[in-house]
Structure 1
Amino acid sequence: MDPSDQKHFTVVDYVVFALLLAASAGIGLYYALSGGRQRTTQEFLMADRSMQCLPISLSLIASFQSAVAIIGVPAEIYTHGTQYWFIGCAYFLGLLIPAHVFIPVLYRLQLSSAYQYLELRFSKAVRICGTLTYIFQMVIYMGVCVYTPAFALNAATGFQLWGTVLATGLVCALYTTLGGLKAVIWTDVFQTVVMFAGQLAVIIVGVRRTGGVSEVWRKVKEGNHISGLDLNPDPTERHTFWTLGIGGVFLMLSLYGVNQAQVQRYLSARTEKEAVRSCYMAFPSLQLALALSCVMGLVMFARYCGEDFSEKLGSSSRDAMVIYFVMDMLQGLPGLPGLFVACLFSAALSTISSAFNSLATVTMEDLIKPYFPSMSEGRATKVSKALAMSYGLLCLAMAYLTHLMGDSVLQVALKIFGMIGGPLLGLFCLGMFFPWANSIGAIAGLVAGLAVAFWVGIGSIITRISGTKLLPPSCHINTTAGIQTALSNVTSRPTGLQRFYSLSYMWYSAFNCSTVILIGLIISFLTGPMKEEEATPGTIYPLLGKLLCFLPEHLKKKLCCVTPLRQSITDQQRLHSHKENNGGASLQHTPSQEQTEGFLSEVDSRVVECETSV
C-alpha cells in the first residue's frame, strides 16, 4: 500500500495521541490545585525556586529538542549526509561555558528575568531593548514550532491543518496558564520520555523492514552518505567541521547561556550547585537525542536511496519525507503512528510552553512591574497568566507565516536563533567580560548587530544562496556526474556582495555576536569607557583577569581585571542598596557569611595559582 493513501488513525492511535494531550493538561491542572496554587508570581514564574537538577535537565533538553529537530534533522541527514552530526562537538563547550560562567553570575544576582541583568550592568534602556529583542525572537520561533507538528498530523491523518494548529496552541496555553513553571517543567519530563520512545519505535521498525543493521550500513556507505571530517575553512560552505564546531558553540551559548527560557530553569533550582549540575546532566541526553535523529535520517536513506516522495503529501519540502517514512514504516502497526505523532506534539508542546512562560516572565518583570511597583501580588499573578494565554494566541498567527518560508524547518529555526539570538549573546558578553563597556556602547552594539544580522539574513533569502550545492543523494555513486557537479560549483561560486550573503547560517550567531562586541567597545571608548567603581557589583565575570593572570597586579587593576571578582562577592549588601536606589529588581536574598567566605577563599587560591605560575 502507498503510505500516502494511509490517511487515518486507528482507534489505538487516537487513544495514544489523546492520552498525551490529556496528561499534559492534567499536569497543569494538578499544579493549579496543589501547593500554593500559583497565587504568587514567584510560584507561577519561578516554581518557588524549589526545583531539583533532574527535572530541570530534562526540561532543558525538551525545550531544545523541539518538533523542528525531530523533523528537520532526519531530513537534513537524508538529503546531505551525516556532516550535521558534528554539531555534537559544540555541545561540550556550549554547556560547559554556561555552567561555569553565565549560571554563577545570574544565579547569585537572584533575578527572575535574565534581562534584569542588563539594567544592573548598563541601564534601564538596555534592559528594555534586550527584552523587546527576545520577545520578537521567540514569537517568530513559536510559529515554526506550532506549524511543524500540525503539518505532520495533517499529512499522516488528513486532519485540517489550521484546526490542528489551533488545538496545539490552545492545549499548550491552557496548562502553561494553569500550572505555571512547575507544570511546564514536569510536562517537559513526561514529554521527553515520549519523544525518545517515538523515535526509537520508528528506528527499530525501519531497520527491520530495510533488512537489518548490516543492510542499512551497506546502503548508506555505498551512497557516500557517511561524511568525513571536512576542515574546509571557507565560511560560505554550508556545513563543515568549523561551521558546526565553532559556529555551533555560539549557537548553543545563545540558547543555553542567555536565552530566558533556559535561564529561567537555572534560576528555579534550589541551589546554584543544582543549576550547574542540571547543565551537566543535559549533555548526554542531548547527544542521545541528536544521535536518534541522525540515525533515523540514515535509515530513511537506506530505505529510499534518496528518492523524494514529499509531493505525495502535498509538499515540496524534504521535511515531508520524514512523515512519508513514518507512515510507510508504521502502517499496519496500531498505536505506533499515534506514538510518533504524540512524540512530535510532545516536542512542540514542551518548546512552546517554555516560550509562553518565559515571555510572560520578561513582559511582567521587565515591561510592567518597573512601571507599576505598587501592583499587588495577586493582581500581578493574574496579569502573568493573561500574558501567557495572550502569547499562546499570538503564536497561532506566526504559524501562518511559517508555511510561506521556503527553507527547511531546521534551517529556518537556526537562522532565527542566529539572527536574533546572536546579537543578544553579544550584548550579555559585552557586559560580563568587558568592564569598560557602557550603556551607549551596548545599545549601539545591539542595534548594529541586529542591522547586520537582518541585512545578511534577508539578503540570503532574496538571492537564495545557501552555500555549495551537494550531489543528489543516491545509493549508487555516479563519478562522472559528481565531477561535472563539482566543476559547475567552482565556476558558479558567488563573488562580491553575493558571497557575503552566502555566509553559512551556522556562522550567524558568531558573526552577529562579534559585531555587537566590536561596535559596543568602539562606541564605549569614544563616549567614555565605564570606570571600575561605576560597575554594579556582581555583574562582571573576571574573564580577562584569568586570561591575563601573568600581568603585574597594577596593570590588571588598570584594565579592570582583578577587583570586580572580589567586589562582586564582598559587596553584595552594597549591590542590594544600589539596585533599590536605581529602580532595579530587588534581590530575593543576599549571600550568607559562609557563602561569602567560601567564595573568597576560592578567589584567593586562584590568585595564588596565578602568582605561582608567573
Structure 2
Amino acid sequence: MHDQVRLNEYIDLPAQRTGAFMATSGNTLIFAGGLDEVGEAFDEIWLLRKGRWERADIRLPKRLAHGVAIGFRDEVLLFGGTDGQVVSSSVYVISTHGGKLRLDSLTQLPVPLAYMTGTLVDQTVLLAGGRSDLSGSGKQHFYALNLNQEVHQAAWVELPSWNGPERVQAVSATFKSEFFLFGGRDSLGTQAESLRDAYRFVPMYQDGRVVSGEWQRLADLPADLADGPGPAAAFGLDHLLYPAQQDHEQPGESLLLAYHVGTDAWMDFGTLPGEQGAWGGTLIKWEQDWLATMDVGESTVLMELSKKKEFGWVNWLTLVVYLGFMLWIGFIYDKKEEQTTSNFFTAGGRIPWWAAGISIYGTQISAITFMAIPAIVFATDWSLAIGSVLILATVPIVVRYYIPFFRRLSITSAYEYLEHRFHKSVRLLGSVSFILFQLGRTGIVLYLPAVAIASVTGSNIYGIIAIMGFICIIYTVMGGIEAVIWTDFAQVVVLMGGAIVCLIVGIMHVDGGLDAVISQGLAEGKFTWYHLGWDPSRLVLWVCIVGFFFLNIIPYTSDQTIVQRYLTVKDEKSAAKSLWVNSWITLPGTVFFFGLGTVLYVFYTNNPDVVAADKVDEILPYFVVQQLPAGIAGLVIAGIFAASQSTMSSSMNSIAASFTSDIFQALSQQASDRSSLAAARWATIGAGVFGTVSAMFIALLDVQFIFDLFQEVLGVLGGSLAGVFILGIFTKRANTVGAITGLIIGVLAVWLTKSYTDISVYLYGAISVVSCVIGGYLCSYFKS
C-alpha cells in the first residue's frame, strides 16, 4: 500500500449487504436497502451518529439496492435501484434536518435505472450508465438534475453522452467542478467484459444550470477491474483515488490506484491490506476523510482512507521545547527588574536597534507570510512580490517625516500625537480603531497555523489554538515589550530557518535540482513579477504599485505595533536604523517565501506519485509533515507557531499600550503607576483571550485565501487611521472636525467600493487613505 495513504478500521456496517445506499448528511451517515447473500432486497434504513448505529423508525417505500446515494446539504438523495426483479425510476430524499428523519419522493428518473454511477458536481447531480432492466447490456444514459433551486422543483436534463461503450458499474468522480467516468462493465453476469476506458466531462452552464458540456478521453485504466457505483476519492490537489477489486486475476485482492489529473496518468499505490479482504464498492466522503467499505472475513466494515501522517513524539518534543523556550524568555524579563508601566511598553529605550528591526519584521510577516504566500505563489506567480520591494520606497518617508514626531513627543502610544495635533476625541477614535483592527487580526493570524497543523497532524484545532494563545498570553504578560521583542528575534530565526530547510528539501527532490526549478518556473510563468493592463479588478502592475505603496505606509505610520518599536530604542537615529534593518531583511525573505511557493509547485508537478494537501492553503505544512525528517519537521512546524505568536504577542502588548495610555489613564488621571501596570496586564490578557476565542470562531468558517481577507480588514480600519496622521503631519489647515470626518469617509469609501464594484482588494488601502485625506481636508477647509 502507498506510504502516503493509510487504511484505518472505522466501524462494522449494521448488516451484511451489497449494493446498499450510503451517503452522509452533516454528521450523520445513512445506510439504506441493499441485498443479502441470497439476493433478497431490504428496505431498512440505518443511521450512524457519534460512532453508533441505530435503526431508523422509517423505511424505504420499496426494497431497493444498486442505485446511487448522494448527500446534499442536510439531505440524502436516493436514485433508482432494483429489488432483484424490477428496476426502479424512483427518487427519494431523506432529510435529517433538526435531527429528525423524514422521507419524501422527488421527480422520477427519465427511465428506470440501476447499476449506474453518479456524483454531485457543484449543485448538479450527474448520473451515467446503468441499465433499465435486468437483461441485456448497459446503457449510455447521462442525466443531470440541477439542485440550485428547491429540490422538490428540480427537473431532469438529458446531456450528450461519452463517445464510448455503454456500461454498468462504472466509477465516477467529482474534481474541480468536472465529472470523471472510469471503467465499468459492458453488462452484468459471468460473461461480462471489463472496460478500461476513462473520460472527463466539462459542464457548460446557462442560468446557473448544466445544459451541456464537452467530453474528453483520458488514459485507460491499467487493469481489468470490478467496481460498484461508488465515487473515486478526490485526494490531495491533483489525485483521484481508485480502490478496486481485480476482475479476473487473484480474486479477492483489492488494488489501490490513483489517477493524476494534471498528467493524465495512472499510478499503482499497492494493494489494500487484510486477509481475504475485498473492495466492497462504495466510497463515502465524511468531513475531511473518505470511508471505504471492505469485505473482511464474514463481515463488511467501513475503513478510513487517510493521508494523515503521525506527527510523532520526536516532532512533538521539538515543538514542546520551542514553546518552553518562549516561556523561559518571558520569565527572564519578568524577573530582570521591578516592572513599571513605561518599561512594560517601551523597555526604557534599551532595545538594540538591530533587535528592534528584526522584531518589526517578525511582527509584520506572521503566519500569513509563512503559509499563505507560498500557497498563493503555488497557485499563481510572483505578482505580490512587488509589495515587498516597495518597502524601500516607504522607509525614507517614515524616517524623514514620522519618526521625529513620535520620538520628540516622548509618547507611549502613537495616538497621543493625535491629541497634541487635534483633540482628545481624535486620539480616542484613533486608538479604538487600532484596537478593533488588532483584535480582529489576532484571531486571523492564530487561526491560520492552527487549522493547517490540525489538518496535517490530525490534532484538534481548538486544542492547538488554545495552546498557542495560552503560551503567548503568559510570556507577553510576564515580560512586556522586552519579552515580545526577544521572542520575536528567536521566532524570526526559527521561521527563516524553516523556510530555508523547506527550500533545500524541495529542490533536492526535484530531478535536475535548482536548474530544473528555475527552467520549469520560467517556462510556466511561475516567476512572473507583473501583468500589464488597466483593469482595476485584476492584479496588474499599476494596481500592485499603488496598492502596496499604501498598504506599506499604513502600518509603518499609524500602527501602534510598529510605532512602539521606534520608542524602544535609545534615540531617533537608532529608530531609523531599525527600519532599515527591517527593510533589508524583507528582501531576502521575499526570495525565500516566494521561491518556496515555486519550489513546491515544481516538486508536486514533477512527482505525481506524491499526494499533496487537499487545500492550497495547507500545501506548506502538509509538505513539512510528509517530506521532512522527524525533528526537522517539528522545528519547521514550530516556525509556523512562531510566525503566529510573534504577531499575536506584538498585537497584545500594543493593544494594552493603547488601552492603558489612551483610555485608562485618560479616564483615571490620578491613577498610580502600579494601577496602570495592572490595567496593562489585564488588557494584555483580555486581548489574548479575545484573539484565542475569535480564532476558534473563524475555524467554523470556510475562507480559501485568508490573505485577501486580511488585506480587506487592513484597508477598512487601518487606511483611514493612516490618513488622519497624514492630515496632521502634512497639513496645517486640517482640524478636529476634518480629521474625524475624514476617518469616517475613508471607511465608507471602502465599504461602497466593496459593495458596488469589483475593484481589487489590494486597492482598498489606497482608497481609504486618499478618501480620508481629501475628505478630511475639504471638511477642514469649509469649517475654517
Q: Compared with structure 1, are the counterparts of its residues 213 and 312 closer, same or farther at alpha carbon in structure 2 (3 Å cutoff)? A: closer
Distance 2:482 2:529 in 1: 43
Aligned to 2:4: 2
Unaligned 5+ residue runs, structure 2?
Answer: 6-305
Aligned to 1:367: 663
Distance 1:303 1:418 in 2: 35
> Of the candidates 483, 489, 500, which is equivalent to residue 200 of structure 1?
500
TM-superposed deviation, 1:170: 0.7
Aligned to 1:263: 563
Tell me the secondary structure at the aligned position of residue 509 of structure 2: helix
- Structure 1 residues 50-61: aligned runs within 5 Å: 50-61=350-361
> Of the candidates 644, 657, 675, which is equivalent to residue 379 of structure 1?
675
TM-superposed deviation, 1:246: 2.4
TM-superposed deviation, 1:209: 0.6
Distance 1:183 1:246 in 2: 36
- Structure 1 residues 408-487: aligned runs within 5 Å: 408-457=705-754, 459=755
TM-superposed deviation, 1:456: 2.9
Higher mean alpha-carbon deviation, 390-399 vs 401-410, is at: 401-410
Name the TM-score, length of structure 2 as normaliser. 0.59
Higher mean alpha-carbon deviation, 212-221 vs 267-276, is at: 212-221
Q: For each residue in 1:20-41, what CA deviation from the matched residue of structure 2 results, as whole angstroms up to 9, or x when unmatched?
A: 11111100000001123x2x10
Q: Compared with structure 1, are the counterparts of its residues 131 and 306 closer, same or farther at alpha carbon in structure 2 (3 Å cutoff)? A: farther
Alignment check: 8 A CA contact 2:389 2:587 kept: no
Distance 2:360 2:391 in 1: 13
- Structure 1 residues 152-167: aligned runs within 5 Å: 152-167=452-467
Residue 72 (1) aligns with residue 74 (2): no
Q: For each residue in 1:165-210, what CA deviation from the matched residue of structure 2 results, as whole angstroms up to 9, or x when unmatched?
A: 0111110010000000000001001111000111111110010011
Alignment check: 8 A CA contact 1:308 1:318 kept: no
> Of the candidates 497, 512, 524, which is equivalent to residue 780 of structure 2?
524
Q: Structure 1 vs Structure 2: percent identity of aligned residues? A: 27
Residue 226 (1) aligns with residue 527 (2): yes
- Structure 1 residues 588-603: aligned runs within 5 Å: none
What letter is aligned with 1:521?
A: Y
- Structure 1 residues 128-207: aligned runs within 5 Å: 128-207=428-507
Distance 1:310 1:367 in 2: 55
TM-superposed deviation, 1:504: 1.1
Alignment check: 8 A CA contact 2:386 2:529 kept: no
Alignment check: 8 A CA contact 1:76 1:297 kept: yes
Tell me the secondary structure at the aligned position of residue 159 of structure 1: coil
Aligned to 1:589: none
Distance 1:261 1:345 in 2: 19
Residue 14 (1) aligns with residue 331 (2): no
TM-superposed deviation, 1:161: 0.2
Distance 2:389 2:606 in 1: 27
Distance 2:529 2:322 in 1: 40
- Structure 1 residues 533-612: aligned runs within 5 Å: none
> Of the candidates 504, 511, 516, which is equivalent to residue 215 of structure 1?
516
Distance 1:250 1:409 in 2: 20
What letter is aligned with 1:7?
A: K
Q: Which has the higher contact order (CA 8 A, sep 6+)?
A: 1
Distance 2:594 2:676 in 1: 44
> Of the candidates 377, 396, 400, which is equivalent to residue 692 of structure 2?
396
Aligned to 1:272: 572
TM-superposed deviation, 1:88: 2.5
Q: For each residue in 1:124-172, what CA deviation from the matched residue of structure 2 results, as whole angstroms up to 9, or x when unmatched?
A: 1111111111111111111111001111221232110001001111100
What letter is aligned with 1:525?
A: Y
> Of the candidates 644, 650, 654, which is equivalent to residue 348 of structure 1?
644
Unaligned 5+ residue runs, structure 1?
Answer: 460-496, 529-614
What letter is aligned with 1:275?
A: A
> Of the candidates 123, 128, 135, which is equivalent to residue 423 of structure 2?
123
TM-superposed deviation, 1:454: 2.8
Alignment check: 8 A CA contact 2:492 2:643 kept: yes
After the TM superposition, list the runs of 4 or more consecutive aligned residues in structure 1 that deviate by more than 6 angstroms: 306-312
TM-superposed deviation, 1:289: 1.6
Q: Compared with structure 1, are the counterparts of its residues 311 and 438 closer, same or farther at alpha carbon in structure 2 (3 Å cutoff)? A: farther
Alignment check: 8 A CA contact 2:624 2:637 kept: no
Give the number of the structure whose alpha-carbon radius of gyration is greater: 2
Q: For each residue in 1:330-372, what CA deviation from the matched residue of structure 2 results, as whole angstroms up to 9, or x when unmatched?
A: 1xx1112101110001111100000000000000000110111
Aligned to 2:40: none
Equivalent pairs counted in the alignment come to: 480
Q: For each residue in 1:221-267, what CA deviation from the matched residue of structure 2 results, as whole angstroms up to 9, or x when unmatched?
A: 23222215433233221x22222222111111111221100000101
Aligned to 1:249: 549
Tell me the secondary structure at the aligned position of residue 319 of structure 1: helix
